[in-house]
Amino acid sequence: MSATDTRRQEIIVLTDEHKNRILDQIRHRKETCPHCGGKQFSVGDALYLGFLFRSEDSDAYMVGLTCTNPTCLAPRTGIRLSRSELLNT
């Protein structure tokens, strides 16, 4: 990590390939926005949960999602994924 990188270490910046896989997961799970019921999301960064919260599975990640419905009043949400779902490793 470079000296100019001010992101927190537990944040994982996802590639477009990762994001496309996450969007596949969202479609597969039929996830919807808890506020407006929208099905379209943009994918943000991932946060590793297993490190922060002992009650979580050791390979759990939370991925930030933003509902793309322009009329949604609370578009920020997230999806929990395992490492294999997230990174396909």
* Residues engaged in binding Zn ion (CB under 5 A): 33, 35-36, 38, 67, 69, 72
CB of 36 to Zn ion, least distance (A): 3
Return the number of the residue (6 or 71) whose C-beta is nearest Zn ion.
Answer: 71
CB of 35 to Zn ion, least distance (A): 5
CB of 29 to Zn ion, least distance (A): 16
Query: CA 8, 44, 2: angle at the middle one, nearest 5?
Result: 35
Q: Which residues pair with 78 in a beta bridge?
A: 64
